[in-house]
Amino acid sequence: MRNLRLYISTVFICFSMFAYSQNFSENAIGLRFGGGDGFGSEVTYQKALGEENRLEVNLGWNTDDDFSGFKLTGLYQWVWHLDGNFNWYAGAGGGLGNYEYELPNLPDENETFIFIAGQVGLEYNFDEIPLQLSLDTRPELSFGNLNDDLDLGIALSARYRF
């Protein structure tokens, strides 16, 4: 599964390199590492709606011997310029997910859940290369039978801007 993640990420990045044709970046695609909710890294995409607003969509998945699941998150973000190439942003949104796991001596579990989320972060956009690095926190309140709690994680993202 790790090879599949690497392959999909490489395809997205290579495809987006051909679309880079202007200084203003309306889109960004990359990976978001961390999160603290068991889904690991996420493929992340941003679409500018103007200079101060954008949409962000993230797809996270995880598969191993005992656990498999996915989570799709959508956020509306407000972006404020700080200084130089630094911005900070805040957003709100939600999403849905599904997971299933099989543990020895326990019944198998499978659940689809929805959640609401907020996000606050700091980003840096490089001038010389079309790279954006960001650090953020995204609290999520889930509504499901088993997944009905508040998750809080910190993540580092690297995105190619085009």
| 8-12, 22-26, 37-41, 42-46: the lowest-pLDDT one | 8-12
The beta-carbon contacts of 143-151 under 8 Å, at least 24 apart in sequence, are 143/113, 143/114, 143/115, 144/111, 144/112, 144/113, 144/114, 145/111, 146/109, 146/111, 146/113, 147/97, 147/99, 147/111, 147/113, 148/113, 151/36, 151/37
Q: What is the pLDDT of residue 149?
A: 83
| Per-residue confidence (pLDDT) for residue 21, from 0 to 100 | 35
Please, what CATH class does the domain formed by 2-161 belong to? mainly beta
Residue with tokens 């090879």, as numbered in its chain: 3
Whether 98 shows a pLDDT value over 60: the answer reads yes
Under 8 Å between Cβ of 150 and 126: no
Look at the pTM and tell me if it is higher than 0.85: no
pLDDT for 66:
81
Domain residue limits, the chain? 2-161
